[in-house]
Chain A
Amino acid sequence: MKFGVVIFPGSNCDYDCWWAIKQVTGERVDFIWHKEKNIENFDCIVLPGGFSYGDYLRTGAIARFSPVMRKIKEFAQRGGLVIGICNGFQILLEAGLLPGAMRKNKNLLFVCKYTYLRVENCSTPFTRLFKRGQILRMPIAHFEGNYYTDQDVLSKLKKNNQIIFRYCNRKGEITEEDNPNGSLEAIAGICNKEKNILGMMPHPERCSEAILGSEDGKIIWESIVESLKDRNRGKK
């Protein structure tokens, strides 16, 4: 089993993801340079957070043209697991691998803090070890995490159970006050219809060790490993 963490120029959570996955799963994790054209040997690709190309234009707008992105599209079409975190989520949106777009946070400020999340769908390869409705404590750090899409797409997201995480309070209630960025319906993470591409603004790699104050992120890595194990068993 092999994880790949993509490095775009300006990625800055690449090493954090590498470290967290290694600590939690003990599996092999390699870096993938953004100019790489061969990603055949990977089982799960991580698009990490950061400011790819400085994000001076729109977040993720340039990174989607990196050579590796075409390969990632093919990889995902074959059913490979792709998880985009923060800037990685923004890149997935820009690349059209997930629907919708990001606006600047409602208060027009960068925000870094712990938030509470509610798990909305636990039958994806990324969330299978959670319980539905489980409340997680996970940090965010972004300027553009205010998710938006039109009503048509939103109803499809709902119909297909593609909304994976919502911001909530510690009791799990969805409130205006606990929505840190103004995101539509407090959406914090979504996946594609096939459930093999996940995009999320919160950072699971920042809460995968007890010493960091929360271990809720661990379960995402563990879920991925379980899913890949199942898949490999199927292959055999």
Chain B
Amino acid sequence: MSAHHIIPMKTLISTTVALVVLTIVTVAVFYLPIPAPFDVVVAILLASFKATLVGMFFMGLYYDEKFNTVVLIFSFLFFLVFVGITLLDTMFRDTGISVW
């Protein structure tokens, strides 16, 4: 069954090579003069791509029942809600307002 898919050796090796290359790219990009917010954006995009590779091929989500991927995506969405709602507080604090 699909749950017991044997991941091809070629896929495992090429995933590893891609991850190592992307790590080198991540470090190389750090030394490029990219203006303020975009250096973080590029770093996070690269890390997300690497995490996607690990999830798809090492953790086997590519071959699995799709519901496991749904669980992972939902964890990410809940994290975004966590970050978003917290930032709505911390980024808009006004020390001038008297606190009740």
- Tell whether A and B belong to one assembly: no
Q: List residues of chain A with CB under 8 Å of any chain B CB.
A: none
Q: List residues of chain B with CB under 8 Å of any chain A CB.
A: none
